[in-house]
Structure 1
């Protein structure tokens, strides 16, 4: 399904629920301010909360007694009511009108930042995240690396916790949810959804505590439960998207987090914002200033893992770097829409 259309459909959810539950809970941004009054919100989270699609002038959400409809470019009709997952262990929710599913580029591959999966041939040849893995010995001032920092193709925005909680998120409920969004079983869109849910339901590595957050509020709460109340968060910031090029580390890396306790959250491909969050031992995070040969500037978050013995031996990092599990620390820069949480 067209990612822009998916985003618009989620806005329809918000419109319906706002009518029914006005004032029932704090909006995600207000929740952040209440829980983390002294913690600046990373740019990545701001962008997911305030997608420019929210201001798309060609789109309108229609709320009426007959259900919810989404008009795109002046077309479309009010939708009908249906249930997502009802009768399949799911929760009954109001659905927007059905729309034709259009695939525009997200491919159903496992995230390279979920470490128990082997890399696919597609990832090895086509995934821009391949360039983000490196060895810790290379994290020094003056080192040059060929990197590709891209804007995420996944425009899915956060849903408030109440709305996210009303939509079933499990393998058992997927048939109902796909019917809800008019997604054809066996389609690429369906496979993307199945891949993400599978990542979330799979057991974690030994020593890894994992959780899939389906809202900003649940991500904040999970990070706080693992790191305490004095939370900070940081994400990679890119002044302007640029093609793959050589970047030079301009300054020594600056470690974030005093006691080396971190929760790292990776955005997954789904209909709305879902983050794979995990707390692992022997992990360190730093902020690195990079300057591209074409003038591009990046404040990149780098995460280094000392213990990779439990990772899949065919994981992307090992195939790219030519090292074995547990042999040397493995590092990677984080894409823009990933978050590192740390405590003071």
Structure 2
């Protein structure tokens, strides 16, 4: 089932171009700000296909040919989302929330969390990985994204503009995502929900500087829930124990919940599945969880208390970790 955002975004693009002149494509902005930092697949998978942008003119060239596709996922309004943020539930990567009953019985969510002491060759985990599809919700250019409100006060207007039926599950998902973005983080956490790639780059640079690297989990093929074993080659990433982690949110176009916390480590973790599939996973470990909600999913799964031991989690393919080089 396709959803009619094409005409809305086409109109917005035309208005923005007419008002502000040519738009700079997100990938060019990345290159200008981070010339020595390659894009991870989590980013490139969410960019519009090559040829949609004219680098010479700096404009979107296929508007009149039906080529604009904001990447609305099939089934979005029925509650489809990322592996860890399905339906109307809260994200397990927001640490001031208590776990819901649904999360406690969701094997995919539960399996993501583990203790840092288990981050070594030979550890077995039951996991499921899915590849980001070509119809994943894509990034909009910043000028277009900024022309759309992203506020609870404008919820009815947003639903109307995105042609989402009031009272539907899709409407609830949109409202929940915006609400999560507006809430305060835990003590010591700096957070922002970014609605464009340019905004993600700006937020990261403001927290870590320009000498950064972006990494993401890479999956060579999809798998059912199965046992994986950590292979040899676990590697700590970055020189400092701080990172900006950006989690893909469930929304009609690409929105990421980005946050920076101190005492955060990032690791590259090679995994081999029972079926032979390989995953180069990214794990984030938090060495200070003392400010997390005591009933957070991680504590209930791992049977530990806040602030006692480092807690780690794996990231799905469409999330991004920024580390200082």
* Superposed pair shares fold, TM > 0.5: yes
Distance 1:32 1:51 in 2: 16
Q: Does 1:114 align with 2:94?
A: yes
Aligned match for 1:318, one of 299, 316, 320: 299
Instruction: Report if the CA contact (8 A) 2:12-2:147 is conserved.
Output: no
Instruction: Report if the CA contact (8 A) 1:118-1:314 is conserved.
Output: yes
Equivalent position SS for 1:276: strand
Q: How far does the alpha carbon of each residue in 1:280-327 deviate from its partner, in whole angstroms, 9 at most, with x for none?
A: 011100101111110110000010001111111221111211111112
Instruction: Report if the CA contact (8 A) 1:214-1:275 is conserved.
Output: yes
Aligned to 2:202: 221
CA distance 1:8–1:296, shift in 2 (3 Å): farther
CA distance 1:338–1:13, shift in 2 (3 Å): farther
Aligned to 1:327: 308
Mean CA deviation greater in 314-323 or 189-198: 314-323
Distance 1:9 1:256 in 2: 43
Aligned to 2:321: 340
Instruction: Report if the CA contact (8 A) 1:209-1:278 is conserved.
Output: yes
Aligned to 1:175: 156
Deviation at 1:70, TM superposition (A): 10
Q: How far does the alpha carbon of each residue in 1:100-123 deviate from its partner, in whole angstroms, 9 at most, with x for none?
A: x95254511111111111121222
Instruction: Report if the CA contact (8 A) 2:46-2:136 is conserved.
Output: yes
Deviation at 1:21, TM superposition (A): 5.6
CA distance 1:6–1:333, shift in 2 (3 Å): farther
Distance 1:141 1:71 in 2: 45
Instruction: Report if the CA contact (8 A) 1:227-1:343 is conserved.
Output: yes
- The TM-score normalised by the length of structure 1 is 0.81
Instruction: Report if the CA contact (8 A) 1:257-1:285 is conserved.
Output: yes
Distance 1:139 1:6 in 2: 45
Mean CA deviation greater in 20-29 or 253-262: 20-29
Equivalent position SS for 1:172: helix
Aligned match for 1:145, one of 125, 128, 131: 125
CA distance 1:241–1:260, shift in 2 (3 Å): same
After TM superposition, the structure 1 = structure 2 runs for residues 247-326 of structure 1, keeping only pairs within 5 Å, are 247-326=228-307
Instruction: Report if the CA contact (8 A) 2:228-2:272 is conserved.
Output: yes
- In terms of Rg, which structure is larger? 1
Q: How far does the alpha carbon of each residue in 1:78-136 deviate from its partner, in whole angstroms, 9 at most, with x for none?
A: xxxxxxxxxxxxxxxxxxxxxxx952545111111111111212222236232111111
Aligned to 2:78: 103
Between the two proteins, the alignment pairs up a number of residues equal to 303
Instruction: Report if the CA contact (8 A) 1:51-1:155 is conserved.
Output: no
- The TM-score normalised by the length of structure 2 is 0.85
Aligned to 1:130: 110
Deviation at 1:150, TM superposition (A): 2.3
After TM superposition, the structure 1 = structure 2 runs for residues 46-65 of structure 1, keeping only pairs within 5 Å, are 46-50=44-48
Superposition RMSD in Å: 2.7
